[in-house]
Amino acid sequence: CRKDGEILAFDLDDLTAIGPYSVYPRTSGIEGNQVVNLTGGPYRHQKYRAKMNVVFTNKNVTCQYRAVGHPIAVALTEAIVDAAAAKLGMDPLELRRRNVIPDDAYPYTFASGIKFEKLSHQQCIDKLSKVMGYEAAKRERDELRKKKIYRGIGLAAMIEVTNPSPAFYGVGGARISAQDGATLRLEPTGMVTVMCSVTEQGQGTEGIFAQIAASALGISLSKTRILTGDTAVTPYGGGTWASRGAGIGGEAVLLAALALKSNILEIAARILKLDKAELDLEGNQVVGKLTREPKLALEELGRVAYFRPDTLPMDFQSELTVTRHYTPREYGFTFTNGIQASYVEVDPDTGFVKLLKHWCVEDCGTVINPMLVDEQIRGGIVQGIGAALYEECLYDANGQMLNASMADYLVPMAAEMPDIVCAHVETPTKQSQLGAKGVGEAGTAGAPGAVMNAINDALSPFGARVTRMPFTPQRILAALEKP
């Protein structure tokens, strides 16, 4: 970078170890491929060189993990940015503010060739500074250092791949579907059954689908029934991967719900002998569009459509089961962005790290359910903290894994976790009516880099620095050149 802080280029060599063999298509190059594509992602430099080599090792097979490649790319990028800030004597947040892609520069083609539709790095930085009280946190850190208490603030700006299109696996010949479908059916009871090819694995997907369908159809959540995971019933689709549940599956649900709503109003218009344009759905009822006066309950409409269609016009056929599919097309991926900050305390005598607080400002487009979004982010951050401080596969000289049970393998526990504060900027994608981007992997993407930079900030009075995860007490003491 220049002396004024302008970042000019990134130069990267990546060595990816995949174990004894490749598991096509999700092992051989995907992890390293993400790293070389995403390193430097938030910044506007236009010169970029990256080289990747994949090697076999006598260790366990490498496979996919939440935020594939992102934690490495973000940690690498943000460590370099912090090192540049230290060398220039510039505030780390200010250096990022000067170099992120401006919010008015989109659509934007990154130096590695990936395309961004619309991101909000500048807004996220400004919001993070306010939410965490950045200047006050720096003052507290500096005052405590005078008392031999060593705290550090770490930042990590990030981008995240979500809503992948067929340009991801499809162009390589992998039979992994990038589209998803949803079938919605109005039952005679007035219930709406939602069947979607995206599955529930704990992310809250079924709750999101119920919310989208209920909102579009003007019915209560209790009037929805969700079915996922049964390929004999649901439309064909790709399922759950790459933070695509709400952005792709949710869009399919919305499109099907809007089509079903139109069909319901067509039937209601025949029953009520009114113009369809005069009607709407609200509160589990067909209502007047202008007066909002209830005119026909959905269960009564269902009764007529299913059991007394002879009372409808001879030339009209009701259709209360609708299927719609959605595939993102304009961009290869719908990128999200955000920035995280970590506040830690390091004991230079023991090497132990105490997590004090963690913040994340994330732009995942339209926030459908704030509670579910925040818990996805928090869960991802905890997972990322695990990689930063605890989790490591240990092998002996013969390649035998030494900690292959939960008795020996360290994972983050609730007692060690800090308070995690989430905030949002909303920049909906224009590729869909819903405007939703993915969010499930964002926390994991940024947390390791933020924790690493916080530890190194705490160690900066000693001129020490750690770079190898996890940052165990032993490695911190080694960096401090203590036995």
Domain boundaries, the chain: 91-166+330-479, 179-326
How far is it, in rounded angstroms, from Cα 156 to Cα 154? 7
Convert the pLDDT of each residue in 13-23 to its tens digit: 999 988 888 87
pLDDT reading at 170 higher than 80 = no
Mean pLDDT across 32-44? 93
* 91-166+330-479 and 179-326: identical CATH topology: yes
Side-chain half-sphere CA neighbours of 177 within 13 A: 16
Instruction: Give the confidence band of 88 by pLDDT, cuts at 50, 70, 90.
Output: very high
Pairing mode of beta strands 180-186, 192-196: antiparallel
Distances in Å between the Cα of 11 and the Cα atoms of 53, 97, 113, 330 are: 15, 21, 15, 29
Distances in Å between the Cα of 190 and the Cα atoms of 36, 49, 219, 312, 357 are: 52, 59, 9, 19, 47
- The 10 Å Cβ neighbour count of residue 445 is 33
* pTM score: 0.94
How far is it, in rounded angstroms, from Cα 251 to Cα 172? 25
Mean pLDDT across 260-284? 97
How far is it, in rounded angstroms, from Cα 169 to Cα 244? 14
- Nearest to residue 424, comparing CAs of 357, 334, 359, 380? 359
pLDDT reading at 103 higher than 70 = yes
How far is it, in rounded angstroms, from Cα 363 to Cα 117? 13
Convert the pLDDT of each residue in 127-146 to its tens digit: 999 999 999 999 999 999 99
Q: Which two tokens stand for residue 42?
A: 């938030």
How far is it, in rounded angstroms, from Cα 122 to Cα 192? 42
pLDDT reading at 178 higher than 90 = no
How far is it, in rounded angstroms, from Cα 468 to Cα 483? 18
How far is it, in rounded angstroms, from Cα 15 to Cα 24? 18
Percent of the chain beyond pLDDT 70? Answer: 99
Q: Which two tokens stand for residue 136?
A: 């006050």
For residue 116, give the 3-state DSSP assignment.
strand
More confident residue, 377 or 164: 377
Mean pLDDT across 358-363? 98
Distances in Å between the Cα of 218 and the Cα atoms of 181, 184, 225, 283 are: 21, 14, 15, 6
Distance of CA 203 to the CA centre of its chain: 11
pLDDT value of position 80? 96
- Nearest to residue 210, comparing CAs of 220, 199, 198, 200? 220
Q: What is the dihedral of CA 108, 110, 116, 121, to 10 degrees?
A: -90
pLDDT reading at 76 higher than 70 = yes
pLDDT value of position 329? 87
Instruction: Give the confidence band of 173 by pLDDT, cuts at 50, 70, 90.
Output: confident
Mean pLDDT across 407-424? 96
Q: Which two tokens stand for residue 433?
A: 């009516």
- Nearest to residue 284, comparing CAs of 274, 295, 271, 298? 298
Alpha helices (H) in 274-342, listed in sequence order: 298-307
How far is it, in rounded angstroms, from Cα 28 to Cα 17? 9
Cα-atom radius of gyration of the chain, to the nearest Å?
26
- Rounded to 5 degrees, φ, ψ at 21 are -160, 165
pLDDT reading at 435 higher than 90 = yes
Q: Which two tokens stand for residue 358?
A: 């963690």
pLDDT value of position 206? 95
How far is it, in rounded angstroms, from Cα 257 to Cα 447? 37
H or E element in which residue 251 lies: helix 250-272
Instruction: Report whether CATH 3.30.365.10 matches the domain 91-166+330-479.
Output: yes
pLDDT value of position 107? 96
Structural fold of domain 179-326: Aldehyde Oxidoreductase; domain 4 (3.30.365)
pLDDT value of position 483? 66
pLDDT value of position 201? 86
Whether the CB-CB separation of 191 and 221 falls below 8 Å is answered with no
pLDDT value of position 93? 98
pLDDT value of position 198? 92
Whether the CB-CB separation of 176 and 169 falls below 8 Å is answered with yes
Convert the pLDDT of each residue in 229-256 to its tens digit: 888 999 999 888 889 999 999 999 999 9
pLDDT reading at 171 higher than 80 = no
Whether the CB-CB separation of 341 and 405 falls below 8 Å is answered with no
Instruction: Give the confidence band of 177 by pLDDT, cuts at 50, 70, 90.
Output: confident
